[in-house]
Chain A
Amino acid sequence: MTAWLRSSIAVKMALLVLGGTGIVFSLVLTYSYVSSRHIILNESKANALNLALAMSRRIEQEFRAVAKVPQSFVAFLENSEWDEKVLLTTLQRMVTDNSEIYGMAVAFQPFAFNKDVRAYAPYYYKTVEGLQFCQLATPEYNYFQQDWYHIPVELKAPVVSEPYFDDGAGNTLMTTYSCPFFERSDDGKRINVRGVITADVDLKWLSKLVAAINESQKGFSFVVTNTGAFVTHPNLDYVNRESLFSLAETRGDPKLRPIVKQMLSSNKGFLDLGSTLGGQDSFLAYSKILSTGWRFGSVFPKGEIFAEVDQLHHITFIVSLLGMGLLLIVSVLVARSIARPLKQMAAATEKVAHGDLDIQLDAARRTDEVGMLAQSFIHMAQGLKERDFIRDAFGRYVTQEVVNRLLESTDGLKLGGEIREISMMMSDIRGFTSLTAHMKPEDIITLLNRYLGTMVEILLDHRGIIDEIIGDGILAFFGAPEPLEDHPERAVACALKMQDAMNEINASNLAHGLPTLEMGIAVNTGSVVVGNIGSDKRVKYGAVGPHVNFTGRMESFTLGGQVLISQPTYERLSDILDVKNVLQVEMKGFDGKINLYDVKGIRGKYKVSLQDFDEALRTLREPITITYYRLNEKTVSAAVGTLASLTSLSAKEATIVCPEPIPIWTNLRIALHRDLGEISEAVVYSKVVSQEAVDGRYRIQAHFTSVSPQASTIFDHAI
């Protein structure tokens, strides 16, 4: 299961999106829920307290109004002259006139009304039949012992009784307000309690008032006395029986009692009831009714307060869930649209890994990032194809090592170099420029390609690095970048092999009607700087240093078919070399004589030896008339030719007798004359290697660098 989860980007993405939005949704929902509950709670709290305050004030007003009746009667009894008739008439009128008053009594202290009468307490009260009168002072009913009488007498202050149900008044709720009145001294001071005036107050209005609120209100309201006894409660059984404390005890909930005590010890407040009262989690707002010490309380179930918020959040929650479901679908779709091309690309990568670089991707048509990736992928495959091509093509000029070095390592292209001892080789076709001056371009290319193709092949076989090919010249080295311990041996062997291959090339050239070529090769060994030379835009792996220049100079001393090696190279290989000759030359920029060794063969590992040509000059029976032209550097000078005669001949050289001295190393173009004395197309290029004066004329040795096919034919006939 987890493996499946991890393996699919669609599932992963969907889960991440779902998880993320889930967290965000739940944070937002929770915050909104908590804060809106807070707002609602504060509002409800204010409303509830306002209701409690308004109610307690209203009840207070009613009680004050009722209390005024006995209070004014007290004032009347204390301050006026009256007799029993006046007393009874006033008492009766007060009961009749005040609808809230159910009954009133004036109860006197023992013998306080009349010295002969111990107890006197007239009482007027309402019944369904009308106003009734009775005398409370009876043998059975000792009013002196009743709370309504006893307590105000003892306290010398008005008292409101605990409420009670009165059967006689139609089972309505009542409370008795008892107000003591006093004897006044002559100076008007209150001295002894003379009696108590009571007013039985019908609390029907209070029950109705609270019941009306209960109908309109969520939760319920109640009134309790200062000892927590219920004056009104929706459950009528509680009234005059249960108190908040007895409920707390019956329910066995230890939290309610302290709440009730807090309520009864303060004038107003808002308390968290929990589920202690009314069963459900509720708040209580309450306010004191000052004249009685009672409390009006309202219980607000939190559930109902928060019902709308809860409902709103319920809906929000469902909408969120739906939204998340939608998001899930969308994210799966999006993820799949990414995953599918990725899968395709993974398959394509597999193909590439197996070498198949022809790749088609549907996603490449897309313009988004996935499309870009697919396009890049196709480009990459094409790039790989190109790289393979480059590797092939490049490999023709440099060794695999250089190619690898360049293609596989970024360091391969880093500019800069190192000092390394290598062997370098420089070859050149003798007189190539002058030779090709009159040739057709296609023939030149054919000639060059045949020549270079063969030479490069041999070089690469010997792990030579081609530094440069300039026309017919090749600069190559051995021992860098890949270190080769036997680089001098390889270089010499390679040079010999190349020289040897010239026979084959020339044979082929002759077969195709092209001139033969003579190549000279110089090999040198020494420390040079190797590395990537160039700028950021164009770099080649090459070698620089005096030894490179020296090699170039050496090369200019070579004759066709010769391999000249320097002293350092010779010293490394003297044991295995066949040296035909040692040339002592002077070189511009180098002091003294310099030994150059004309090598004919190498033994040992590579074992190459040059074919021994018949180099003995044969004197011709009949000299061949020639016209020679001196060649200035590599271009044919416009000078007029000089007549001379070719007297002896070998495969590589000729002896020419001429009227003037020609310095050694001068290049000559020699045109052979026909028998008729005219200049033929037969041309030979050669280099003067020696000269001597003989009988006022000069005899020079000219080493062939190129022999045209026509000349070759003439020479064959002549010998």
Chain B
Amino acid sequence: MKKVVAILAISLALFASNSMAADPALARVTFIPQWIPQAQFAGYMMALEKGFYKESGLDVEILRGGPADSPLEALQSGRATFCSLWVSTAVQHRAMGVKLVNLAQIVQHSALMIVAKKASGIINLENLNGRRVGLWEGDFKIQPLALFKSRNLSVIEVPLYSTVNLFLKGAVEAMTAMWYNEYHTLLNTGLEPDDLTTFFFRDYGLNFPEDGIYCLEKTLIDNPSVCEGFVQASLKGWIYAFEHEKETLDVVMKYTDTAHTGTNRAHQTWMLARMKDLIFPNGDKAVFGKLDVQQYLLVTNTLQSLGFIKNAPGYEDFYRGQR
């Protein structure tokens, strides 16, 4: 089965990259994204590619990432210095005692959504009642559960894993999807935007900030300049990525090719464009890299009300980035 082999390949790749020769003058750090290489992480790829990390005195290695490699484990084991995580994930870990801190909030808006085929008669939220809805496990489930609870919807939850095939084959009538990823995958199976009903959580009072840069609190205390350098170079990488879309996509495709993720340029182009929408919502550059306190409280309050956490970490403790 190919997945077995994939794991083997990832381990080999990790081993190979670890053993690469390093510049002794630079501080060696590693970054692990929370998912497989794709345009979702284009800013880090470009910061590395264009030497922004080196300019900040860092010798950065980007780990491949993916569902089989937990960023938190990598952080705790010391295999990774920095990682990318959703706010909701990080808050839960912090609440459970893992001392990690948010150095920068990259994705300002929630890209999580529920998609349904109009043909199945789902036009508004209430239509989801009693329907088979494919839901990703874990933190992806927080917003749907909060929404269903607030709207008093009872849906038949079907666990959803990595692909959209369950939805395409008709085993579920609706599914959770990322705007920049699965939604486009569906469009590229021949479905038109008009064929689909979409529910963006950000439109239903559940606009959770998503990807942010995290490290252990210890790392920040010990090497604040390394953390500062990594964040600044990464932000610079993001700006570069959006200003040099074609070059960025070339780099992204290089990463995806190496990782055999089976994606294509059209998909990554869509993803990069959506990342820009999410990182600079409505073109707003002022919020770039910052975690909004209200949005933070929305996450913690929702988690508390659903019983995911008992005590919410303080915003000041959690967010250590730019104000």
Contact = CB atoms under 8 A, between A and B. Distances in A.
B267 A155 contact: no
B159 A151 contact: no
Contacts of A228: 188-190
B292 to A, nearest CB: 34
B161 A155 contact: no
B264 interface: yes
Given A140-B7, A228-B189, A164 B2 contact: yes
Contacts of A247: 266
Contacts of B266: 242, 245-247, 249-250
A159 B7 CA distance: 24
B4 A246 contact: no
Nearest to A107: B1
A123 B262 CA distance: 25
Nearest to B2: A166
Interface size class, chain B? 20 to 34
A479 interface: no
Contacts of B9: 167
Interface stretch (A141-149, A470-478, A547-555, A670-678): A141-149
Nearest to A176: B1
Among A123, A143, A243, A245, residue most surrounded by chain B Cβ atoms (within 10 Å): A245
Interface stretch (B46-54, B116-124, B166-174, B298-306): B166-174
Contacts of A146: 1, 3, 161
B29 interface: no
A134 interface: yes
A682 interface: no
A63 B161 CA distance: 27
A146 B163 CA distance: 9
Name the residue among A125, A136, A241 with the largest chain B CB count within 10 angstroms: A241
Given A123-B1, A147-B165, A154 B267 contact: no
A250 B166 contact: no
State the majority secondary structure of interface residues on A: mixed
B177 to A, nearest CB: 15
B158 to A, nearest CB: 6
Given A168-B2, A245-B190, A154 B166 contact: yes
Contacts of B96: none
Contacts of B4: 134, 136, 141, 168
A146 B4 CA distance: 12
B313 to A, nearest CB: 30
Most B CB within 10 A of own CB, among A123, A146, A147, A154: A154
Interface string A122-147: 01010000000010100011010111
A154 B190 contact: no
Interface string A225-257: 001100000000000111101110110000000
A154 B135 CA distance: 14
B170 A155 contact: yes
A456 interface: no
A261 interface: yes
Contacts of B262: 164, 240-241
A103 interface: yes
B29 to A, nearest CB: 27
A103 to B, nearest CB: 7
A148 to B, nearest CB: 8
Contacts, number: 96
Contacts of B190: 227-228, 245, 260-261, 264
Contacts of B171: 151, 154-155
Contact of A166 (B5, B189, B263, B267): B5
A227 B266 CA distance: 15
A12 interface: no
Contacts of A148: 1
Given A154-B166, A243-B264, A246-B264, A103 B158 contact: no
Interface string B170-213: 11100000000000000111100000000000000000000000
A242 B264 contact: yes
Contacts of B263: 241
A250 B265 contact: yes
A245 B2 contact: no
A140 B1 CA distance: 13
A48 interface: no
A167 B5 contact: yes
A150 B169 CA distance: 12
A162 interface: yes
B2 A155 contact: no
A105 interface: yes
B68 interface: yes
Given A141-B4, A167-B2, A155 B265 contact: no
Contacts of A165: 2, 260
Interface string B1-36: 111110101000000000000000000000000000
A245 B187 contact: yes
Interface in A288-308: none
A150 B161 contact: yes
B196 to A, nearest CB: 15
Given A164-B2, A167-B2, A147 B166 contact: yes
A227 B166 CA distance: 13
A164 B189 CA distance: 17
Contacts of B267: 246
A103 B1 contact: yes
Contacts of B163: 147
A168 B188 contact: no
A119 to B, nearest CB: 13
Contacts of B187: 245
A140 B68 contact: yes
A174 B3 CA distance: 13
Contacts of B3: 141, 146
22 contacts: A134-B4, A136-B1, A140-B68, A146-B1, A150-B161, A151-B165, A151-B166, A154-B166, A159-B165, A161-B165, A162-B165, A164-B262, A165-B2, A167-B9, A168-B2, A168-B5, A241-B262, A242-B264, A243-B264, A246-B265, A250-B264, A264-B190
Interface of A: 103, 105, 123, 125, 134, 136, 140-141, 143, 145-148, 150-151, 154-155, 159, 161-162, 164-168, 174, 200, 227-228, 240-243, 245-247, 249-250, 260-261, 264
The 6 closest A-B pairs by CB, nearest first: A227-B189, A154-B171, A249-B266, A245-B188, A246-B266, A145-B161
Interface of B: 1-5, 7, 9, 68, 158-159, 161-163, 165-166, 168-172, 187-190, 260, 262-267, 269-270
Given A140-B7, A243-B264, A246-B265, 20 more contacts: A103-B1, A105-B1, A125-B1, A141-B1, A143-B1, A145-B159, A145-B162, A151-B165, A151-B166, A162-B165, A165-B260, A200-B1, A228-B188, A242-B264, A245-B188, A245-B190, A246-B188, A249-B266, A261-B190, A264-B190
